[in-house]
Amino acid sequence: MAGGGFCKLPGGSVVVALYLPGPPGGGASPGARVRVLVHAANRARALTRLRNLGLRAVYLRGNTEPPTPDEITAVLHHPDGLVWRATPDDDTESWHGIRTLLRRAPAA
Q: How much is the pLDDT for 1?
A: 45
Q: How much is the pLDDT for 107?
A: 46
Residue type, position 55, single letter = L
Give this prediction's pTM. Answer: 0.82
Taking the C-alpha atoms of residue 56 and residue 53, their distance in angstroms, rounded to an integer, is 8
Q: How much is the pLDDT for 25?
A: 54
Domain boundaries of the chain, sorted by first residue: 5-104
Residue type, position 53, single letter = L
Q: How much is the pLDDT for 30?
A: 55
For the chain, which ranges sit under pLDDT 50? 1, 27, 107-108
